[in-house]
Structure 1
């Protein structure tokens, strides 16, 4: 599965960044060209994976924007809104889709990391500082969860732990939670 392999490659890039920038809330506002590249790569892949995910849930519908994805998530996979990932080594936890569930007078709210991705994509000169560590970590968490949901949906998995049979490798830095982990019995 190409999207899963790309996810793991992006995580390796984040691991390399961690050699230079401590993955800490104290450094969330740190920005750089390398973080810009990661923000743009991850944001682009999120767009691709969310579109595939929504089309898997509703093949008859067309999805072309974050607004379409938000509606699909809220209507067809609301559990995604409360899902989280973590980086135990640095004591960090992320709920990247949490903001999607917030209903405003204009409809559902876009996550701040998505808004910032679009700002650095379209207004890089004025919004370069938004290409920061926080947005990389939150958007990668969103990509990880979207990929998990896509693998589960495309393979019609009844038991989420069967995920291991359908992907080649798992994240090394990010933790996906106990419900996705295969239980290992030691004899």
Structure 2
């Protein structure tokens, strides 16, 4: 499998990690917004869109998924429990469930996805949504999609530097977690 999208994710993670030199990653700073966060949110959101479409086609070759609602239907049908995935940021004692809203009785778009679209289409009024909290959540969402997309890939490397998932045994020798919604014997 082509890993160019994985390397692009790692590049986005590095770009986000550099912002921490200026604004510490902390819940108190989650509403801090900037041009750099706007750029990252737009890049990450676009990559989520692309990666989700690829994952939908991977699990359903006849998929015509084109919206986040379509992605939710295809992905959660293939991986029940995917919405429970939690991405850790150990260095900052944080954990994020970027897709938790997909597990609601009436699933909806994640807040960070709504922010991405607001910034993309209404930056003049919604620029404050280009904030640290939305960017880190979007980045975690992108990592989660990659973990599912590459679920059969041996040794997905290099590993992210900031985000982690105690990588699953399917991706790392000695991995400690199974991805939610994946049958380990499959």
TM-score by length of 2: 0.88
**1:23-46: CA deviation from partner (whole Å, max 9, x where unpaired):** 000100000000000000000000
Contact 2:13 2:160 survives alignment (8 Å):
yes
Q: Using the TM superposition, give the Cα deviation of residue 148 of structure 1 relative to its aligned residue in structure 2, in angstroms.
A: 1.1
Q: Using the TM superposition, give the Cα deviation of residue 20 of structure 1 relative to its aligned residue in structure 2, in angstroms.
A: 0.5
Extract unaligned runs of 5+ from structure 2.
176-186
Contact 1:31 1:130 survives alignment (8 Å):
yes
Q: Using the TM superposition, give the Cα deviation of residue 175 of structure 1 relative to its aligned residue in structure 2, in angstroms.
A: 1.3
Distance in structure 2 (CA, Å) of the matches to 1:100 and 1:73: 10
Q: What is the SS of the residue equivalent to 2:95?
A: strand
Q: Using the TM superposition, give the Cα deviation of residue 55 of structure 1 relative to its aligned residue in structure 2, in angstroms.
A: 0.6
**1:66-117: CA deviation from partner (whole Å, max 9, x where unpaired):** 110011122111232111111111111000001011122xxx2111110111
Any residues of structure 2 matched to 1:101-180 within 5 Å, and which? 101-104=103-106, 108-152=107-151, 157=152, 163-164=154-155, 167-177=156-166, 179-180=168-169
Contact 1:84 1:94 survives alignment (8 Å):
yes
Contact 1:103 1:109 survives alignment (8 Å):
no
Q: Using the TM superposition, give the Cα deviation of residue 171 of structure 1 relative to its aligned residue in structure 2, in angstroms.
A: 0.2
- 1:13 paired residue number: 15
1:182 maps to 2:173:
yes
TM-score by length of 1: 0.87
Q: What is the SS of the residue equivalent to 1:19?
A: coil
Q: What is the SS of the residue equivalent to 1:93?
A: strand
2:74 to 67, 72, 75: 72
Q: Using the TM superposition, give the Cα deviation of residue 178 of structure 1 relative to its aligned residue in structure 2, in angstroms.
A: 5.0
RMSD: 1.4
Q: Number of paired residues?
A: 171
**1:125-175: CA deviation from partner (whole Å, max 9, x where unpaired):** 0000000000011000000010111111xxxx2xxxx641xx330101111
Q: Using the TM superposition, give the Cα deviation of residue 176 of structure 1 relative to its aligned residue in structure 2, in angstroms.
A: 1.3
Q: Using the TM superposition, give the Cα deviation of residue 61 of structure 1 relative to its aligned residue in structure 2, in angstroms.
A: 2.0
Q: What is the SS of the residue equivalent to 1:143?
A: helix
Higher share in helix? 1
1:29 to 28, 31, 51: 31
